[in-house]
C-alpha cells in the first residue's frame, strides 16, 4: 500500500511541474512601503489593508505602479490574478527597467502576460535587454499551464551579477547566465520595478491580428504578496555601488530562490518541454545566422522549433484540454419546521 502511494505522488509531480518546488519564504510589503502610483488615476485601487492593488484598463487609460527605489540586483515578486473573459490585445506586465534614466542605453527584464480570445490561453513572455539592446530582443513565450484568471499565482524575477532566473509559482522557467560574449547585453545598471496593464493590440494577440474589444472593459488585474529584495541605490549618486551592495548581493545569491538544485532544474526542463511555444534562439527570419551566446544550440530543445522560432509541435491549449465540470446538484435545505 505504501509503495503504491509513493508512486502515485511521484506520478502527480511529473504531471504537475508547477507543484514540484516548495514555496519561497520571503517577507512581503504593503504597497506604500515600496511602491507608488505611476499612471492611470482612478484605474489603480489599493485594498483597505494596503497589501494588494488592482490595476484596470478601459478605453481611456491603462494603469501602473513603480517601486519607490532603484535596485542594484534583487529578487522581485508578486502574486498576480489576470483579467477574465475576452482579453485579446491586453498586456499585463511585471518588469524591471531604467528607461526613464537611460533612454538610449536602458536595461530591462520582462514578465509580460498576453491576453487572448475567449476560451484560449493567456501567454507569458519573458525578455532580457541590456544597454539598449532592443534590436536583439531575447523573447521567449509559453502557454500558462493553469487558468491564471481563477486565482492569483506568484511570478518572480531574480537578477544577480552572474545570472537571471524567471519563476512561475516558484518553479524556474528560464535562466540567463552572464558571459563575456554577452557584453553589455546583460543588464548591469540599477533598475526600478514596475507593474502595468495596457493596450497592446498592435502585437499582443496573434501578432496584432486580433485587437482589444472595450465592450469587455474594464480589464482588471490584481497584485498582492509584493516582494522587493535587493540593494537600494540612489539614481544620482551611484559611486562605489558595487562595493556598497556586496553584502546585499551575497545575501541574495545565498537565498533558496537563487540556488537551482537538481530538482529545480528538472522542473524547469519539464516546463520548457511542455509549454514553451517560441524562442528567439531559433528565429532565423528575424536574426538570420546570428548566434546568441546565451543560447544552447546543441540541446535537444532546438529540434522542436522551426525557422520562425515557433514550436513545431505546440502543446495543447490548457483550457481546451480541461474537461468540463458538471454543475453540482442543488442542495435541498431542510425546512426549520
Catalytic positions, written as ranges: 108, 112
Comparing C-alpha atoms, which of 103, 100, 142, 107 is closest to residue 128?
107
Comparing C-alpha atoms, which of 169, 227, 196 is closest to residue 31?
227
Half-sphere exposure of 324 (CA within 13 A, CB side): 3
Comparing C-alpha atoms, which of 269, 301, 92, 299 is closest to residue 173?
269
> d(Cα 124, Cα 115) in Å, to the nearest integer?
9
The C-alpha angle with vertex 331 and arms to 328 and 334, in degrees rounded to 5, equals 175
> d(Cα 19, Cα 169) in Å, to the nearest integer?
8
Amino acid at each position: 500500500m505504501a509503495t503504491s502511494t509513493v508512486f502515485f505522488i511521484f506520478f502527480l509531480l511529473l504531471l504537475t511541474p508547477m507543484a514540484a518546488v516548495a514555496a519561497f519564504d520571503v517577507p512581503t510589503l504593503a504597497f506604500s512601503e515600496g511602491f507608488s502610483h505611476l499612471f492611470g488615476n482612478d484605474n489603480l485601487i489599493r485594498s483597505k489593508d494596503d497589501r494588494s492593488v488592482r490595476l484596470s484598463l478601459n478605453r481611456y487609460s491603462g494603469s501602473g505602479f513603480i517601486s519607490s527605489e532603484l535596485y542594484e540586483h534583487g529578487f522581485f515578486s508578486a502574486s498576480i490574478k489576470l483579467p477574465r473573459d475576452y482579453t485579446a490585445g491586453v498586456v499585463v506586465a511585471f518588469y524591471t527597467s531604467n528607461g526613464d534614466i537611460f533612454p538610449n542605453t536602458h536595461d530591462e527584464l520582462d514578465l509580460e502576460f498576453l491576453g487572448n480570445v475567449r476560451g484560449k490561453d493567456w501567454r507569458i513572455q519573458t525578455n532580457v535587454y541590456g544597454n539598449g539592446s532592443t534590436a536583439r530582443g531575447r523573447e521567449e513565450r509559453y502557454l500558462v499551464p493553469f487558468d491564471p484568471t481563477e486565482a492569483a499565482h506568484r511570478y518572480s524575477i531574480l537578477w544577480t551579477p552572474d545570472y537571471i532566473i524567471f519563476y512561475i509559482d516558484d518553479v524556474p522557467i528560464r535562466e540567463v547566465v552572464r558571459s563575456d560574449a554577452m557584453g553589455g547585453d546583460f543588464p548591469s545598471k540599477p533598475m526600478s520595478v514596475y507593474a502595468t496593464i495596457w493596450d497592446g493590440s498592435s502585437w499582443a494577440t496573434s501578432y496584432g491580428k486580433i485587437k482589444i474589444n472595450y465592450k469587455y472593459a474594464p480589464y482588471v488585474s490584481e497584485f498582492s504578496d509584493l516582494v522587493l529584495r535587493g540593494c537600494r541605490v540612489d539614481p544620482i549618486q551611484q559611486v562605489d555601488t558595487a562595493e556598497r551592495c556586496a553584502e546585499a548581493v551575497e545575501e541574495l545569491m545565498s537565498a533558496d530562490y537563487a540556488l537551482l538544485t537538481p530538482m529545480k532544474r528538472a522542473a524547469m526542463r519539464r516546463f520548457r518541454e511542455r509549454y514553451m511555444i517560441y524562442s528567439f534562439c531559433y528565429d532565423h527570419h528575424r536574426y538570420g545566422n546570428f548566434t546568441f551566446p546565451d543560447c544552447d544550440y546543441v540541446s535537444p530543445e532546438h529540434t522542436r522549433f522551426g525557422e520562425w522560432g515557433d514550436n513545431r509541435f505546440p502543446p495543447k491549449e490548457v483550457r481546451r484540454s480541461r474537461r468540463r465540470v458538471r454543475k453540482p446538484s442543488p442542495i435541498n435545505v431542510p425546512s426549520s419546521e
